[in-house]
Amino acid sequence: MLHHAYRNTPFYHRKFREAEVHPDDFQSLGDLEKFPITTKEELRQNYPHNALAKGYSLSNGVEMHTSGSTGRVFTFFCSHAALDYHMVISYRNFVALGYRPWEKIVYTRYTPLEIGGHWYDRFGLVRRLHVNVFEPVKAQVEFVRQHQPKAITGYPSVLLEWAKIIEKEDIEIQPRFIRTEAELLTTEAREYMEQVFGCHVYEEYGSSEMIQYAFECKERGYHLSADNAVMEFLEDGESVAPGEQGEIFATSLAKYGMPFIRYQLFDWGVPAEGSCSCGRGLPLMKLIVGRNDDFVTLPSGKKVGPRLMIPPFELIPRINEFRLIQEKKELIVIEIIKGEEYTQATEDTLKQNLLDILGEPVELRFNYVDEIPRGRHNRPRPLISKVRA
C-alpha cells in the first residue's frame, strides 16, 4: 500500500517526499511511525484530483460522504473492489455471532440502505431491513416487532430508546443478537438492552471510511480487524503500551483507489496484549474510550471520558434527553429535557454522582430545556467539550 500510494497518488507522493521518507524505509510494522500522519482536512483539500490513485474514477467506484461528529461533510472515493471487501469483513462478524445469510437483519440508519443492487440480493440473501430513525420511536419498534429479525445492528442511543418502550409496554422482540456501531456503548446500556431483548449485545468499532476497525466475538474479545486496517495507538506520536490509552490512527489495506495512510480518527482506545479464548489470531484491544472532544478536561489536567460521564443519565426514566457541555475546565453545563417524574431529588442525585466521578471541584450548571440541538442526521452528542487541553 505504501508503494502504491507513493507511485500513484500525487498527494502521498508529495507528502512522503516532504517528510523525507520512502516506502523502502518500511521493513517492519514499527517503521510505520516514520511516515507522516494524514488528516481528514488534508484529504478534503486534495480531493479528488490529488487524493485518487491513477486508474481510479467514478467508472470503477463511488463517492461516499460522511460528517462524523463535526457536521462538516467529508467526501471520499471507494472502489467497487474495496466496497465488496468491506462487505465481507463486516458480514464475517455477523456470521460468527450466529447470523445466517438467509435471515432478516434490521439496521438503524439515518439514511436509507442500498438494497437490490448487489449479487446476493438476487438470491434473497442478507435480507436487510432499514429502520428510519426519523420516524417516531414507537413506529420503529412496531416495524421491528412485525418483522422479528434474527439480528439487529444500529446506534446504541436508538436501541436504548427501543428497549425502554419494549420493557414498558411488554413487547416481544427476540433477536439472536444485537450489534452496536457508530456510538459509544456503555456497560450500563449494554446490560439493560441484554436484559430487555434477552440476547447478547456486541460492539463494533468502525467508520464510513474503512467500515470496520474492531469487533467483539462471542467470548467478548475485542478483535482488531487486522486484515482490513493497521491500527496504531499513539501518545505524542509514539506507540503506547498495552493497557494504556492512545489516540487511534488507521492505515487501510483495501482502499487502493483513495489510500488512507496513518489516518487520524480522533478517537481514543486501549490496546491489549494476549489472545482470546475464541482462538482467533487477531490482535486485541480493550475498549474505545471516546473522541477527542468527548473528554472532560479537569483543572488538574486529568481527562474523564464518556464511559464514566454518560451512565448516570442513561437509565433514569425521569430524563427524556440530556447533553453535557464543558464550557471551561471549571464549568460543565448540563442540559436536560425532564420527564414527568423528574424532581429536585433527581438533580441532587445526579450532581453528587457526577462530582464523585470527577473527583475535583467543578461547577455543574443544570439547564432545563424543551429541545436539545442534534448534529447532522439528527445524531445526538451527549458529551461535548469546548476545552482544548
Confidence check: pLDDT of 288 > 50: yes
Per-residue pLDDT at 155 = 86
Confidence check: pLDDT of 68 > 60: no
Give the chain's mean pLDDT: 88
Confidence check: pLDDT of 354 > 80: yes
* Of residues 80, 91, 93, the one with CA closest to residue 254: 80
| pLDDT cut 70: percent of the chain above it | 91
Confidence check: pLDDT of 67 > 80: no
| 269, containing H or E segment | strand 263-272
Per-residue pLDDT at 351 = 92
Per-residue pLDDT at 305 = 75
Per-residue pLDDT at 71 = 47
pLDDT grade, residue 168 (50/70/90)?
very high
Per-residue pLDDT at 110 = 65
- Give yes or no for a contact between 221 and 205, defined as CB atoms under 8 angstroms apart: no
Confidence check: pLDDT of 73 > 80: no
Helix crossing, 156-169 with 137-147: angle to 10°?
80
* Of residues 201, 137, 135, 133, the one with CA closest to residue 169: 137
Per-residue pLDDT at 277 = 93
Give the pLDDT mean for 357-368.
92
pLDDT in tens, 203-212: 999 888 998 9
Q: Which three cell numbers stand for residue 135?
A: 420516524
- Cα atoms found within 13 Å of the Cα of residue 347, Cβ hemisphere only: 13
pLDDT in tens, 236-269: 889 999 999 898 999 999 999 999 999 998 888 9
Say which range, 59-73, 161-175, 204-218, has the weakest mean pLDDT.
59-73
Rounded CA separation 244/235 (Å): 9
176 or 160, higher pLDDT: 176
Per-residue pLDDT at 381 = 76
Rounded CA separation 342/186 (Å): 23
- Residues with Cβ within 8 Å of 160's Cβ and at least 6 positions away in sequence, in order, are 189, 192, 193, 314
Per-residue pLDDT at 243 = 92
List of domains in the chain: 80-292 (3.40.50.12780), 295-385 (3.30.300.30)
Per-residue pLDDT at 187 = 86
Confidence check: pLDDT of 179 > 90: yes
pLDDT in tens, 90-128: 889 999 999 998 999 999 876 666 665 667 777 777 788
291 or 79, higher pLDDT: 79
Residue 367: CB atoms within 10 Å: 11
